[in-house]
Each structure stands twice: as C-alpha cells, then as structure tokens.
Amino acid sequence: MMFGNINSSGATIDGRQHGEANDILLPNQTGRVQKVAVVYFTASDSSDQGGRMHFQAFETDNVEKCVAFIRNLLDSSQPPSSVPATQEPGVDSPVIRATGGGAHRFRDLLDRELGVQIEVVEEMESLIKGLNFLIREVADEVFTYSEDAPMQFENLASDDFFPYMLVNIGSGVSILKVTSENEYERISGTSLGGGTLWGLLNLLTGVRSFDEMLEMTKTGDNTKVDMMVGDIYGTNYDKIGLKATNIASTMAGVYRKSLDKQFDDADIARSLLYMVSNNIGQIAYLNARLHNVKRIYFGGYFIRGHPLTMHTLSYAINFWSKGEMRALFLRHEGFLGATGAFTIADDAVSALGVLDRQPSQLLPLPQLVNSTRTPYSPDTVDLSTDTKQRSYWISAMEKNTNGLLELADNGALECGPDTQSKMTGFVALYLKHLRRLREQPQAYGLISVRMLLGLREQCLHEVGLEDIFAHVKERETDAALLALPEVIQETDRISDQSQRLTTVLQNVLAGNMFDWGSTSLRDKLASGNLDFAHARTTFARRPQFDNTEAIRRAYRKAVIFVDNSGADVCLGILPLARSLLASGTDVVELVDIVCRAAHIDSILDMGWREGRLQVCGTGSSGPSAWCAIAQAADLVVIVGMGRAIHSNYRANQMAADAAGAQIYDGLCWYEPGQ
C-alpha cells in the first residue's frame, strides 16, 4: 500500500472529473453507544494539489441526519446535469465503503435512500489499517496524556511501530495485538465498555446524551459516593503502595454514608467513569504483560478526547505497570475503522494520504543529522506551552491575513481568475483555523510559528491560490536585476576584504526587508516607499547580534537557503554567492534566478557554467531546511525570518524585547558546527 497525496482524479466518488470523494464510511461500534463515522475527501481547487480528508460523526439515534449529510455530499460532488435522471442504482453510481456493525445494520437504509453501491470492508482489518495509516502518515497524531502534562506528542521511527496493542473501546472492548502491517489477532476483550457507562448513567441519572454524561463528570466528586482507602485506614496504606486517595470500592461510600441520602448526578457520573476506565486500563495492562507488548493504543469513540477519561486510562496503565508502560492516544481515535476502510483502496484510487504530506527520497540536511547534539528541532518557541507568545502570534496572523484581503481589494494581488472570491474563501478558512487554535492550541498537533505559516500555505492551496505575490515578485526581480551591476561595482570598489564582507552582509540584510509576508513592511512595499537604498538604512547592526568576524576565512562549499525573490535574492544573495565564488568556495543556492544573473556578471557566469554555482529546491513549501546536495558543505547560510529566526533563532518585537533588541535590528550570527 502506498500512502501519498490524494489526487482529484483518483479519489472522486464516482470517477467523474470533479468528484468529492469515493470513500464515505461507517465505523465499527455496535449498540446504543454506537456512532456513525463519516470520512470523506474534498479535492482542492488547485490543479496540482490533493485536498483534505474530513471527519464527521453522528449518533445512531440520529442516523437520518447522517443520511441527509451524505446526500448533500453526493449532490455537491457533481453537476446535476451530469447524472441521467433514469440512472439505475448500482450502474456507475457512487460507492460508500462501510465497516463495522453499522455496515450491515444500515445497508438497506443507505441503498434505499441514496441509491449507492455499498461495499462492506472487514471490521478488524479496517481498524488496523486505519491506525497504521494515522501513526505512520499524520504528524503529531499520537500523544500521551496526564493532568500534569496534557498532550505530549510522539512521532515514531518506522522500525518502532510494531508490535503494539490496540484497545478499541466502543459499547464493549476489543483488544488486538498487531505485529506487522498485515498481521494481527484479537487476543482479548471485555463487555465492560462505553455501553456499560452509558446504560448505568441513564438508569441512575436519567441523562440520555453520552456527551452530556461526560460533561457531568467534569464537576463531579467521586469521593462522595466511592469508598476510598483513607475511609478504611484513615491514611495511606504504604506497605502495599496504596494512597489514601485511591478508590477502595466503587459506590461503596453510598452504603457507608446512608442509603437515604440524595447524591449528586455529577458525583455518580465521575465514579462510574473511573470504574469503567480503571477496569479497562487494568485489563489492557494484563494483556500487554501477557503478550510482552510495551505500546498500548486506546481508540474508539468512548474516549473522544475527554481529558478525564484519558487521564484515568493513563493513570491505570502507569499504576499497574509501575511506570514501565504508557497509554497512547490518537487525535482521530473515533475514526480508526472509517479511516482504515478509506485507505483500503481499489485500483481506481492510485494514492491516498493527508494534506501537505507525501513520501519522498529527500534526505535531511547532513549537517543536522550528523550533529552530536540532541535531535534537531527547527522551532525556537513552543507555542503550546507559552500562552503569551501563542496569543501574540495568532493575533499577528489574524492581522496579517486581514491585511492580505485589503491588498486583494485594492488590486495589489493578481493571482488569476476569481482572485477576490478565492482570497475571501482563504481568509474565512484560515481565520476559522486560528479561532480553533485559540480555544484548542493542540488541535492540530504541536503549535509553532512554523506550523501557523504552514497552515496558512495549506489554506491558500486549498482555495486554489499558489503564490499570491507571484506577479509582484516578478516585477521586483526584473527591477532588482537591473540594479545588480551597480551593487556589484560598489562592492568591487572596496579593497579591504573585511569591509567588503561587511558590505555584502549588509546587502543580504537589506534584501531581506523585501518581505510581503511582514505586516509592518507590506504597506511600504505596496506603496513603493521602500527601495534598496532606503532598506540599507532601515535596520541596525548591534555587536551582540553580529559575530561575522568568525566567518572571515575560506570555505570549500557553501549552501545558502534563500527566503524570498526580488531584491532579496538579486541584490542580497547573489552578491554574497559571488563573493564566496571569488574566494574559491563552491556555492549551492535554492533559487531559480541565477541563470538570468549569470548573463550580467562574469564571476557568476563562470561559476554557473563550471558547476561551482548550483541551484536546487528544498523539497518543502515551508521554511525548514532540507537538502541532500549539501553533504560536503562546511558553511551553511540560512537567510530570512522564516528559516533563520522563526524556526531556528528568534524574531519579532516580542522576541526582540526578550533579547534586548529592537525590531529591525539585523541578526548576523555564526555558530560553529560540531
């Protein structure tokens, strides 16, 4: 099975040109606790992008809402005129791939109401395929949880995946041992599951909605109905490792405190949640120990990201294993079966995957891999833990996004047909994501400035916008190439090598001011009030942020990671590359303007023709640095706020204040390799 980007031709519902998706699925639960999970695919408006997988859940008591939802998907996936009114069900009709008990229970209903083909996929296979897909292909899918350290994400190497155990909690519980992509067995289970909790709470409290029941547990106090170890011994029972706060007997406190007393529904709900979760946790641990498995994944719609449930399961695994095992959770835990059935594709679907992620043969920058330090992380600030920084950056992205819409309104952005409507769609989509991240910072995994910028790019691609500043950059590049000879001549007139390097680096910093993504610079650029000469006077170079004396020596090979085009590359990076070439250094750049510049300058031309000046792509749309061609490089130059500061150092006024700097202070910093 190949996991790559979904393409719009291969992932449509019915094989027509612009279909939505060919996989709408039902999950694997049965009984009252059952949920119907729908996974479907929408193609991007962009011609060369995949699209997005969507996840939607319905209670089986409201299955008619699910049917209406699917009908709307089918109606919106194709022009009405493309389907003959006399079309018979099953003749070139859309396919719904279904799994679990609902695949059989609702098959006739879906066939009757929707006129579709129902393709039933084996339940356990769907579960395992779904889990394998999520943990292998979706970044920050797996996490651990406790009240002290909520959502600590894990990304595994491929050789660490197996073996593992899946504890799937629906009405009851199924426990599966998985030893490879296609080898698994059901090793145990219990009837004590989500249905148990739902049924007991319905009898004791009268509440019917499962989500309502879970909400009640947040305010409950189980010590008012349970018998605690402290109730029996008055303190901890240290000899056998029991704390006074451990539960000795579920609901036994009711008898001790008086059968005539009225008890709060929330206290009862919390007690029963602990009872079910603790027992599932203990059964899971015993099976893991019996089968010599260290990794235990919990899935199923019983969990649905409920903090108290996850904490209780985590506590149980940690307690019984004496800290040797941890409970692992998934951000899409309620959709394992549906996702698995989606990825069990037929020949019509050539590739499946998730947005902005695909396998490749690219290698990480060797200088990072070979470092003797801790594993490389490109993110300077963890916004999931820094509330002040997170609030600042989300607000900054909101302001910047609204500013982009103003530019579109003023005609400054010319991205092809329907630019205005696409920009409106982009702004609505991105701001919706930002609002969710304010409320749920870890909704999409680890949150950082790099992630926010990547999310913005995904939203632009999703509405069909590739590079909203393309025509602006093209004009900038033309103008900058005209100015390049003068900049080179100015540099060549400087005889002192140290002063020449200083001037070259000043040009690099000045070029980086031409950043349309910067809220503070965008208006100046749009109005034409920022030229290269002015840019060189805008920033300051302070000794505490400038140690360029350390790089005044010859290097064998330099790799330059470039941020923007226009003046940034032409007047900043190309003179730097030229200076390095003149000193005997081979140069690898990540731009596509060098060929034109080679016609302007003899040193650039010779370096280009001799192969000492090369150009390659990073293989990534984001600012992180990846390049296999840099194997022999002994100098790596990272240019721009996105690459050099947001994701590798520090930037913006908030970070500048912490470093004792001002906004527009230039950072030119050399760090020796290991």
How many C-beta atoms lie closer than 10 Å to residue 433's C-beta?
A: 17
Indicate if the pLDDT at residue 437 is higher than 70.
yes
Question: Mean pLDDT, the chain, as a whole number?
Answer: 76
Indicate if the pLDDT at residue 83 is higher than 90.
no
Contact 277, 307 (CB under 8 A): no
Pairing of strands 184-190, 295-299: unpaired
pLDDT of 351: 35
Place of tokens 């119907």: 36
Indicate if the pLDDT at residue 579 is higher than 60.
yes
pLDDT of 199: 92
Token code pair at residue 346: 């037929």
Coil, helix or strand at residue 540: strand
Give residue 417's pLDDT band: very low, low, confident or very high (50, 70, 90): low
Indicate if the pLDDT at residue 416 is higher than 90.
no
Pick from 274, 292, 288: nearest CA to 320: 288
Give residue 631's pLDDT band: very low, low, confident or very high (50, 70, 90): low
Q: Across 151-165, 257-271, 299-313, which has the greatest mean pLDDT?
A: 299-313
pLDDT of 32: 36
Q: Across 25-39, 292-306, 409-423, 628-642, which has the greatest mean pLDDT?
A: 292-306
Contact 121, 344 (CB under 8 A): yes
pLDDT tens digits for range 322-336: 999 999 999 888 888
Q: List phi, psi (to 5°) of 551.
A: -105, 15
pLDDT tens digits for range 645-660: 444 444 445 455 555 6
- Tell me the domains of the chain and their CATH numbers: 1-130+340-359 (3.30.420), 139-225+263-331 (3.30.420.40), 387-462 (1.20.1700), 471-668 (no CATH)
Coil, helix or strand at residue 19: coil
Interacting residues of 380 by C-beta distance below 8 A, sequence separation 6+: 449, 645, 646, 647, 648, 649, 650, 655
Give residue 7's pLDDT band: very low, low, confident or very high (50, 70, 90): very low
Indicate if the pLDDT at residue 629 is higher than 60.
no
The burial class, CB within 10 Å (0-12 / 13-18 / 19+), for 224 is middle
pTM for the whole structure: 0.62
pLDDT tens digits for range 245-263: 888 999 988 876 665 677 8
Token code pair at residue 413: 């952005």
Pick from 565, 618, 564: nearest CA to 588: 618
